[in-house]
Amino acid sequence: MFEEIRNFGQIKLEDEWISHIKTYMSDSRFEHTLGVTTVAVYLSEFYDVDKDLVRKTALLHDIAKDMSPDEMANIAGKYGYQIQDISLQYEANLHAEIGALIAEHEFGLYDKDALNAIRFHVCARPDMSLLEKIIFLSDHAEPQRPNQPMLRTLIEIAKTDINLSILRMLRVVIEYQVSNSIPKYVCDITSEAYDYLLEDYCKTDQIYDQSPENNDILSDEEFDEAFELIRCNQIKLKSVENARWIKDLLTNSGRKIKDGLLIRSGSLHQLTDEEADYLNTLGLSLVIDLRTPMEVAQAPDKSIAGVRYENIPLVENIDTSMMDYLTQRYMQSLSETDRAWYVEQYARIDEVIKMYRNISMDARSLDSIHRIFQLLRESPGTILFHCTSGKDRTGIIAALLLLALGCDKKYIISDYNASAVTLFTKTESIKADLGVRGNGKENLKRGLQTSISVVPEVLRSGLYYIENNYFSNDSFIFEATGCNDRELELLRNKFLV
């Protein structure tokens, strides 16, 4: 996508105006400014907005950033400007206010909207104009900022839904503010911006893109459906969590998934001999273990006579991101005993939260998925795939398989939701423990809760992203599964009645 952006917003460096801007700032600041401008101009193509104004505003947004507080105070004095409380309490905002002054008086940018976009580009504010939104987002998402995969997603979303994109961005900003003890007065302004947008956003009809914490329990109907699915599909194994058949689901072409070929479950490390025998009687021929090598080393699957075992980690190393950073900080704030408990319970927190969104951007994950689909196509007999609890990584493979077989999304979501029934008591007891142990970091507690809960929105939005953002629509399933036409046909003939 950045290729597209680059081709798009070529900044002409010979422009005299730009040369003048360059004299106000360091090389790295100038680089940042060009990055912001490029993204802003790119985004403005998707909206009815004055593109020249967007360009000028972006170029000027950090014009005061390299000045000292004294220099900025002098400029305020020179133009008779009263510095606002927000900058008095939070110096990092001062360059935004002074930047607007310089833009107006020294660059002749008189447009009120543009000046506001500069003034509010750091902390945002409620009821932002389109131009303010574009500048705010571009500043926070330009190509030199860390965590590019996430930012690229936000820019991609912003092409059609800038409010959603900014909501996501504001969450990151607010988490940063809270964990860095930014004054409450400042946090409140950004939080108001978030609440204002959220209210607006909830009026729109975006079923795939609500944030998980608003949806962290299933509705009664969804629970009923999940109970029914478990009643029909559960495989009773005392020592294996969440074991069940994937069967009987209808595809869009009217075919059904065959009975007796596909099992999804949690880890097999406590499997008893009798249970291993029982799995043998089901015709089990292959176990695909989606856990990382470290998890496998800690709790290896019991081997089952005559059954092939393949460890194909779905997720290995994940980029350091804001979430990792916050999680680490949170961990550091805990006592040693509590920390050990968290590490044990939530070793995979980052994977869970990011996996659904990022899996198709991670080449190694895609590679794993392609290998798994090859095994699914080529291995005879019953195949069992599992991770630890059989919810998330297992859920992703199940979802992709069901998509490839042509199932409607509503069946895919019900299959995922069934984990809510099987893991219910475990989830609730961890939540209770979390309530006792968690010490006040609400946003992280929420994140941790999301990671252990069954949240249909997580899967829904994951599917939506995989389908719409990372793959060209028509070829999505080929790219995601690594199957060509003929192989997909093989897969369907193998697993469908």
Binding positions for Fe ion, 55-114, rule CB under 5 A: 62
Please give the structure tokens belonging to residue 453: 């809960």
Q: How far is CA 106 from the centre of its chain?
A: 41
Nearer to Fe ion among residue 136 and residue 245 (C-beta): 136
For the CB of residue 62, give the shortest distance to Fe ion in the complex, in Å.
4
For the CB of residue 83, give the shortest distance to Fe ion in the complex, in Å.
16
Q: CA–CA separation, 300 vs 8, rounded Å? A: 51
Tell me how many degrees the CA angle 400-406-408 measures, rounded to the nearest 5. Answer: 85
Contact present, 445 and 243 (Cβ < 8 Å): no
For the CB of residue 159, give the shortest distance to Fe ion in the complex, in Å.
21
DSSP per-residue string spanning 74-86: HHHHHTT----HH
Could you give the count of Cα atoms lying within 13 Å of 372 in the half-sphere of its Cβ? 30
Burial of 76 (0-12, 13-18, 19+ CB in 10 A): middle
User: Out of 132, 139, 222, 275, which residue is the one contacting Fe ion (CB under 5 A)?
Assistant: 139
Nearer to Fe ion among residue 60 and residue 326 (C-beta): 60
Please give the structure tokens belonging to residue 446: 């929420």
Nearer to Fe ion among residue 73 and residue 366 (C-beta): 73
For the CB of residue 24, give the shortest distance to Fe ion in the complex, in Å.
13
Nearer to Fe ion among residue 39 and residue 480 (C-beta): 39
Greatest extent of the chain over all pairs of C-alpha atoms, in Å = 86
Binding positions for Fe ion, 156-185, rule CB under 5 A: none
- Sort strands 284-289 and 382-386 into parallel, antiparallel or unpaired: parallel
For the CB of residue 158, give the shortest distance to Fe ion in the complex, in Å.
17
Of 139-147, 173-181, 229-237, 371-379, the segment contacting Fe ion by CB under 5 A is 139-147
For tokens 């006792």, what's the residue?
A: 436
Please give the structure tokens belonging to residue 96: 């935004």
Binding positions for Fe ion, 182-201, rule CB under 5 A: none
3-state secondary structure of 258: coil
Of 101-109, 132-140, 179-187, 342-350, the segment contacting Fe ion by CB under 5 A is 132-140
Nearer to Fe ion among residue 62 and residue 275 (C-beta): 62
Contact present, 411 and 225 (Cβ < 8 Å): no
For the CB of residue 245, give the shortest distance to Fe ion in the complex, in Å.
54
For the CB of residue 72, give the shortest distance to Fe ion in the complex, in Å.
13
Cα radius of gyration (the chain)? 26
Burial of 24-60, coded b for 16+ CB within 10 Å and e otherwise, reads bbeeebbebbbbbbbbbbbbbeeeebeeebbbbbbbb
For the CB of residue 165, give the shortest distance to Fe ion in the complex, in Å.
17
- Sort strands 284-289 and 262-265 into parallel, antiparallel or unpaired: unpaired
Select from 169, 162, 171, 173 the least CA-distant residue to 200: 162
Give the other-Cβ count within 10 Å of 205's Cβ. 5
Under rule CB under 5 A, how many of the chain's residues touch Fe ion? Answer: 2
Nearer to Fe ion among residue 186 and residue 448 (C-beta): 186
For the CB of residue 168, give the shortest distance to Fe ion in the complex, in Å.
18
For the CB of residue 114, give the shortest distance to Fe ion in the complex, in Å.
15
Contacts of 236 (CB under 8 A, 6+ apart): 243
For tokens 């680059």, what's the residue?
A: 6
DSSP 47: S
Give the other-Cβ count within 10 Å of 392's Cβ. 27
- Sort strands 382-386 and 262-265 into parallel, antiparallel or unpaired: parallel
Nearer to Fe ion among residue 62 and residue 362 (C-beta): 62
For the CB of residue 154, give the shortest distance to Fe ion in the complex, in Å.
16
Nearer to Fe ion among residue 139 and residue 275 (C-beta): 139
Please give the structure tokens belonging to residue 114: 């543009």
Please give the structure tokens belonging to residue 1: 């996508």
Nearer to Fe ion among residue 96 and residue 477 (C-beta): 96
132 binds Fe ion, rule: CB under 5 A:
no
Nearer to Fe ion among residue 95 and residue 152 (C-beta): 95
Binding positions for Fe ion, 365-394, rule CB under 5 A: none
Binding positions for Fe ion, 5-64, rule CB under 5 A: 62
Contacts of 211 (CB under 8 A, 6+ apart): 167, 168, 171, 457
Select from 315, 375, 382 the least CA-distant residue to 350: 315
For the CB of residue 61, give the shortest distance to Fe ion in the complex, in Å.
6
Of 46-54, 134-142, 370-378, 480-488, the segment contacting Fe ion by CB under 5 A is 134-142
Nearer to Fe ion among residue 106 and residue 487 (C-beta): 106
Binding positions for Fe ion, 423-482, rule CB under 5 A: none
Nearer to Fe ion among residue 28 and residue 298 (C-beta): 28
For the CB of residue 29, give the shortest distance to Fe ion in the complex, in Å.
8
Nearer to Fe ion among residue 139 and residue 350 (C-beta): 139
By CB under 5 A, name the binding residues for Fe ion.
62, 139
